[in-house]
A and B are shown apart, each in its own frame.
Chain A
């Protein structure tokens, strides 16, 4: 009997001893954490969860969360998908009602948060992963995690290689009359204003209007219709969506039209109202780390598009010989005015 009790105790001790190696913290320890990372992870485990708002599709966000949880188990992430202007509005609606619920969000601009003194300092995680300061706000309270590149995409099943448009002027060719779809928020033109100038864009859009384009709000939905063959050409489309669809075997490609436009910085921020600030910092730290960036590039194809950065977006730009123009904060500050001006020129209503 004594022997049985002894064996039972031994079994329990061994189980408890082994169990410590399988706790979330131990699993993370196995991959060697930096001191800051370790501190954040321990604190995040106590917080247990994280509320994250961003503009990735649910599927993409799901994959990112899965990968993050592989390294840092024990943190439940709740996700909301919204464009950067929607996340900004949603935050302030909740904040003013005293019910801010988000821990980490990507917003169109960090300035409204700065005005209300709502930003958390991110210098510690930026330094910890050695993230390029050019992708951060000056006060190090926001970091750009991914980059949207806007341009023109086409359906390879409908547009033959010799007919692929190679310049913006090519889209004015009568053969495209009634065959172009435009995403009516016109981001490619808004963020390209500093490159082309307002007058050139207004004149161009007036000519494009004569092509009787159709309009479809939402880049992802437009891509769905482009892939299905509803129209052959789509303007103001994200390059990374084209890459994703191509990866699935869809008949779509990026038109080699110069320049492609990137919207510059849409910073990821941690508001001071965050209920789970450590989990938010840990997540953002992972996103801007080499490991996170490589994974994001693999899943979302939204890495730095500038030449030589080695991301898939950058490689495609180099292969097609396309230059990139990057918008500054000026475009964000003037976004609403420009949208109205350009929509009027094109004869479309978005609101």
Chain B
């Protein structure tokens, strides 16, 4: 057989699929293997040294580790105690009551998602500073207190801020459950003479419990993974959680590489536990059957005169959680150095920081790097996720379940740990020279977002009937042509949504970028972080405001595009 004939006889479908499988294994297993490898060594990557369990002994026998565990657990608990009740309450208020303007509230409550966590932390630091923070000043004035009631430089303060941010995610997770809940059981309770509060306690919230539990576990995982808020509020006062300690152990002086890896492995184990619990909670949710096949409409509870209180609460929440942080950042960007807001300072505000920042030597490079990172990483995430989803849903390929699990695995890996693993791996691998370039971030973010992309594509793929692709095959189209011309266009709304989701997270997240950047590959979140550390508050706020505007445009453009495509199909 001639070579060209041999080439023709190759089944490229399986070659491509094989390559994707190898790539996914390489992306996920390689870095984690290196992380575990480094945790058994006490020297820097590249240095000769024996294998040892010294790091584990040092970590487990040190009181500092248990303090760290306590701090992280308390931080997660406080953020949970703030985020879950707030998120659930507003989801209930908007979905199940007759509160006026609740539709506006639905659009406003989750807006914190468009605000990068680091900027959120900075804004709350300026709002909650014990002596110059507006909120503490207001509380002291209102209650005649001598000392500031909220201390942002504490685990509880940090958890409070994280909780406010998490409330939006909880809201979005729970609001759907409220909306799709079968009202039959509630109506049965009313028929039996139960009042609104008894029904809410014994029926509604019990039915909601698995959904709330899932949101709580998700929040817990997020809090354990959180780097930005503890970095802004905790590092200056020496208050650490796992994520910040890992960052400092691998970046600050003196560096402790082995300890960074060991703490990374420990955090990974905890995150895996949360993912397992999350899986169990969502699996059990099915048995509660909040959604049935019958047509129904959720009962709207009449709050009477209290409905106006509901509206007031909605807008107060929006004012405190969204408007106040954004306003303080805008205020900070208009001054030459940060001063607490006052009427006297109005004469001193100017656009000086914006004018200066535009000519800032690293802004263009950071923008260019961010753009490369966003486009490359989001596109790669979408392509890989779509192919993996196709393998999992459409083929009978042996091992496809393992591939599915592998792509989901990075969901359980905290960003800081994943970045550490990539750092170790590419410091060692000399023949792939991407250490210190923007490309190491591209593959780290791609790996990190495969889990979300995989889930989104799997669901979308399940909704497309196989017969559409079979029609293409019957008409003589190759697998690649069918995939490109039929499958991908049908998946397009999900593809766009996944791309936008990934782009937003890449632009917002600091924990991976701050671990992997070099001066040549500085991206916007790192530039903001560096400026903040330099004490350049006006510049930090100015870039932050511009970044938030960019994210908002991206969010709305993406939604508009996805909705347009969805209508076309």
A interface residues with partner B (beta carbon < 8 Å): 51, 53, 57-59, 62, 65-66, 78-81, 83, 85-86, 88-90, 92-93, 96-99, 101, 184, 214-221, 223-225, 227-231, 241, 245, 248-250, 336, 348-351
Is the CB–CB distance between B338 and A81 below 8 Å? Answer: no
Q: Kindly list chain A residues whose C-beta atoms are within 8 Å of the C-beta of B531.
A: 58-59
B336-368 vs A, Cβ < 8 Å mask (1 yes, 0 no): 111110000000000000000000111000000
Is the CB–CB distance between A224 and B519 below 8 Å? Answer: no
Give which listed residue, B129, B130, B337, B533, contacts A245 with CB less than 8 A: B337
Is the CB–CB distance between A220 and B534 below 8 Å? Answer: yes
Q: B144 near A: Cβ within 8 Å? A: no
Known pairs A97-B44, A217-B238; list 17 more (Cβ under 8 Å).
A57-B535, A81-B530, A89-B255, A93-B44, A96-B46, A99-B436, A101-B518, A184-B238, A214-B237, A218-B236, A221-B532, A225-B132, A228-B339, A229-B339, A229-B340, A248-B336, A336-B254
Is the CB–CB distance between B519 and A215 below 8 Å? Answer: no
Q: Kindly list chain A residues whose C-beta atoms are within 8 Å of the C-beta of B153.
A: 214
Q: How far is the CA of A89 from the CA of B257 in the complex (A)?
A: 11
Q: How far is the CA of A231 from the CA of B131 in the complex (A)?
A: 8
| Contact flag A89-B253 (CB < 8 Å), given A220-B535, A248-B337 | yes
Q: How far is the CA of A348 from the CA of B535 in the complex (A)?
A: 23
Is the CB–CB distance between A228 and B129 below 8 Å? Answer: yes
Q: B427 near A: Cβ within 8 Å? A: yes
Give which listed residue, B130, B337, B361, contacts A227 with CB less than 8 A: B337
Is the CB–CB distance between B519 and A80 below 8 Å? Answer: yes
* CB-based nearest A residue for B535: A220
Q: How far is the CA of A349 from the CA of B240 in the complex (A)?
A: 11
* CB-based nearest B residue for A219: B535
* CB-based nearest B residue for A157: B339
Q: B319 near A: Cβ within 8 Å? A: no
Give which listed residue, A59, A216, A230, contacts B237 with CB less than 8 A: A216
Give which listed residue, A58, A85, A216, A227, contacts B339 with CB less than 8 A: A227
Is the CB–CB distance between B238 and A224 below 8 Å? Answer: no
Q: How far is the CA of A92 from the CA of B253 in the complex (A)?
A: 11
The 10 closest A-B pairs by CB, nearest first: A220-B535, A57-B534, A85-B253, A80-B519, A97-B46, A97-B427, A78-B519, A62-B361, A217-B236, A89-B253
**CB neighbors of A among B104-134 (8 A):** 129-132
Q: B47 near A: Cβ within 8 Å? A: yes
* B292 CB → nearest A CB, Å: 56
Q: Kindly list chain B residues whose C-beta atoms are within 8 Å of the C-beta of A250.
A: 336-337
Q: Kindly list chain A residues whose C-beta atoms are within 8 Å of the C-beta of B283.
A: none
Q: Kindly list chain A residues whose C-beta atoms are within 8 Å of the C-beta of B360.
A: 58-59, 62
Q: Kindly list chain A residues whose C-beta atoms are within 8 Å of the C-beta of B187.
A: none
Is the CB–CB distance between B519 and A223 below 8 Å? Answer: no
| Contact flag A101-B362 (CB < 8 Å), given A93-B44, A217-B235, A229-B131 | no
Task: Describe B's contact surface by its main secondary structure.
Answer: loop
Give which listed residue, B132, B251, B533, contacts A230 with CB less than 8 A: B132
* B337 CB → nearest A CB, Å: 5
Q: How far is the CA of A89 from the CA of B248 in the complex (A)?
A: 12
B interface residues with partner A (beta carbon < 8 Å): 44-47, 129-132, 153, 235-238, 248, 251-255, 257, 336-340, 360-362, 427-428, 430, 435-436, 518-520, 527, 530-537, 539
| Contact flag A65-B435 (CB < 8 Å), given A89-B254, A97-B428 | no
Q: Kindly list chain A residues whose C-beta atoms are within 8 Å of the C-beta of B252.
A: 86, 89, 351
Q: Kindly list chain A residues whose C-beta atoms are within 8 Å of the C-beta of B46.
A: 96-98
Q: How far is the CA of A98 from the CA of B519 in the complex (A)?
A: 18
* B532 CB → nearest A CB, Å: 8
Q: Kindly list chain B residues whose C-beta atoms are within 8 Å of the C-beta of A65.
A: 361
Give which listed residue, A220, A230, A350, contacts B129 with CB less than 8 A: A230
Is the CB–CB distance between A58 and B530 below 8 Å? Answer: yes
Q: How far is the CA of A215 from the CA of B430 in the complex (A)?
A: 42
Give which listed residue, A88, A89, A217, A224, contacts B338 with CB less than 8 A: A224
* CB-based nearest A residue for B48: A96
Q: Kindly list chain B residues whose C-beta atoms are within 8 Å of the C-beta of A227.
A: 337-339
* B95 CB → nearest A CB, Å: 41
Q: How far is the CA of A350 from the CA of B248 in the complex (A)?
A: 11
* B119 CB → nearest A CB, Å: 16
Is the CB–CB distance between B340 and A215 below 8 Å? Answer: no
Q: Kindly list chain B residues whose C-beta atoms are within 8 Å of the C-beta of A53.
A: 519
Is the CB–CB distance between A215 and B337 below 8 Å? Answer: no
* A84 CB → nearest B CB, Å: 9
* CB-based nearest A residue for B131: A230
Q: How far is the CA of A250 from the CA of B535 in the complex (A)?
A: 13
Q: List 30 contacting pairs A-B, 8 Å CB cutoff, sorted by A.
A: A51-B520, A57-B534, A59-B539, A62-B361, A66-B361, A81-B533, A81-B534, A86-B253, A96-B44, A96-B46, A96-B47, A97-B428, A98-B430, A101-B520, A216-B236, A217-B238, A218-B236, A218-B533, A221-B532, A224-B535, A227-B337, A227-B338, A227-B339, A228-B337, A228-B340, A229-B340, A230-B132, A248-B336, A348-B238, A349-B238
Is the CB–CB distance between A350 and B535 below 8 Å? Answer: no
Q: Kindly list chain B residues whose C-beta atoms are within 8 Å of the C-beta of A97.
A: 44-46, 427-428, 435
Is the CB–CB distance between B235 and A58 below 8 Å? Answer: no
Give which listed residue, B253, B257, B518, B532, contacts A88 with CB less than 8 A: B253
Is the CB–CB distance between A249 and B536 below 8 Å? Answer: no
* B491 CB → nearest A CB, Å: 40
Q: Kindly list chain B residues whose C-beta atoms are within 8 Å of the C-beta of A351.
A: 238, 248, 252
* A306 CB → nearest B CB, Å: 27
Q: How far is the CA of A90 from the CA of B423 in the complex (A)?
A: 13
| Contact flag A57-B536 (CB < 8 Å), given A86-B252, A97-B427 | yes
Q: Kindly list chain B residues whose C-beta atoms are within 8 Å of the C-beta of A101.
A: 436, 518, 520
Q: How far is the CA of A225 from the CA of B533 in the complex (A)?
A: 12
Q: How far is the CA of A90 from the CA of B427 in the complex (A)?
A: 13
Is the CB–CB distance between A221 and B340 below 8 Å? Answer: no
* A216 CB → nearest B CB, Å: 5
Q: How far is the CA of A53 from the CA of B339 in the complex (A)?
A: 31
